[in-house]
Amino acid sequence: MIDPHELVDKLVASLPDLLPAARWFGGKDQPITAVRPLRTTVVDGDLVHVIFEVEQPGRTESYQGALSLNTGAWDVLLDPDHNGVLLDRIASGHNADGIVFAHEPGTELRSGLRGRPIGVEQSNTSLIYGQQYILKIFRKLARGENRDLVIHRALRSVGCEHIAQPLGSISTELDGEPVTLAMLQEFLPDAVEGWDMAKTSVRDLMAEADLHAFEVGGDFAGEACRLGHAVAQVHADLAEALGTRLADEDAVNQAIAGMQRRLDVVLESVPELARYEDPLRQAFEGARAHIGAIPIQHIHGDLHLGQVLRTVHGWLLIDFEGEPAASVEARSGLKSPLRDVAGMLRSFDYAARQLLIGQPDDDQLAYRAMEWTKRNRAAFCDGYAEVAADPRDNAHLLRAFELDKAVYEVAYEHANRPEWLTVPLSSIARMTSGGE
């Protein structure tokens, strides 16, 4: 009889070589100094679930995966012959040696389906079962309640119409703390990602030599307005479900200090940002005088066009985990809804300029990109103002949040896509010189 623990020990010895090739592994920037198994669980006759710890200089993080007991094959979570058991266990309710499979109250699920991995794997692994369900497996594990699941449950409790409904979860405990392994939601096969819709609209505009954005058949402004309305409604639903409070002086100071600290860090690695240091610092400090008594609450935390889906019924927001680089504590804190607005406004700028990356300078195309950006930023804010206060009424704070987001983007592009660095840098140049 095969000993699963011996099998896992062999696997762990090979993981330093295997992990850097995995899309979901978040430690590609540092060498792996050690890998240790934390828990080995036989879920059924052949699927062995593994939680392991990866040690790298300056950090130690936990991940999950699975292997076949019979063949020793690694990462069989992606294999339809193995992953169907995950949905079956959630549907029936099951406890496998401390791993709890559960469906949400009042939910009945169909079992016997196989999971197919979603097209492009990100930091999580998503499996689609039939045309009904999507299971998001959190590869890097965080102690404590999973924010994505908590927020979805809260929004469901107040009848929010702009989310994919949560249907079930897989969870366990590590060191006495809860850990969410996966979340099951309804799958919407007709959904289209906002980023793809926006890119198509920009492409249509660029293909026309003499038409304005509002004259092109792929004009996105109507959708941008409806998206703004949906985002504001989600903010209102989160406030109803989880409450809100006014930011005190300490919260304001922490927010401004956080912007300055991020700038300090990025300036060390990206010399191109140095020319904008003084106006950036002035913008962050200048926002303090205009903040006043602003409400803070739970928000999305990492909102952009890739985090929204358009269905036949309207816009949905997905992935409420928060900013990937932030700590669990920082993600869970109360923030101004304007941070989400700023994230979406930055995303419009990215959508407009992505076709210009790597191309020779073309003043006409640059002008048309800016025209598209301005039109859709305004439409989004118009839609938001139909439900809540117009974000443009607090222009100084909104500008500070946008600049803070752009500094974050500078760091990301410098490390991952240097050819895209011109997008956030040009935005910073424009905003710090009095542009929108």
Strand order in the sheet with 308-311: 192-193, 308-311, 314-317
Q: Do the domain assignments include residue 45?
A: yes
Cα separation, 26 vs 140, in Å, equals 8
Residues 92 and 37 in one domain: yes
Q: Do the domain assignments include residue 371?
A: yes
Question: How far is C-alpha 133 from the chain's CA centre?
Answer: 20
Q: What is the pLDDT of residue 214?
A: 63
Residues 149 and 235 in one domain: no
Q: Do the domain assignments include residue 2?
A: no
Residues 175 and 80 in one domain: yes
Q: What is the pLDDT of residue 288?
A: 84
Residues 232 and 346 in one domain: yes
Helix (H, G, I), strand (E, B) or coil at 229: helix
Residues 163 and 250 in one domain: no
Domain boundary among 186, 218, 236: 186
**In this structure, what CATH number is given to the domain that contains residue 387?**
3.90.1200.10
Length of the chain measured in residues: 436
Q: What is the pLDDT of residue 149?
A: 95
Q: What is the pLDDT of residue 355?
A: 85
Q: What is the pLDDT of residue 217?
A: 57
Neighbours of 40 (CB within 10 A): 21
Question: Which residues span the domain enclosing 406?
Answer: 192-432
Domain boundary among 171, 186, 201: 186
Residues 239 and 150 in one domain: no
Residues 249 and 149 in one domain: no
Q: What is the pLDDT of residue 213?
A: 56
Residue 428 tokens read as: 């910073």
Q: Is the CA virtual torsion 182, 188, 190, 196 positive or negative?
A: negative
Tokens 């998206």 belong to residue: 227
Which residues in the chain show pLDDT less than 70? 1, 119-121, 209-218, 292, 435-436
Domain boundary among 164, 186, 208: 186
Q: What is the pLDDT of residue 359?
A: 80
Q: Do the domain assignments include residue 104?
A: yes
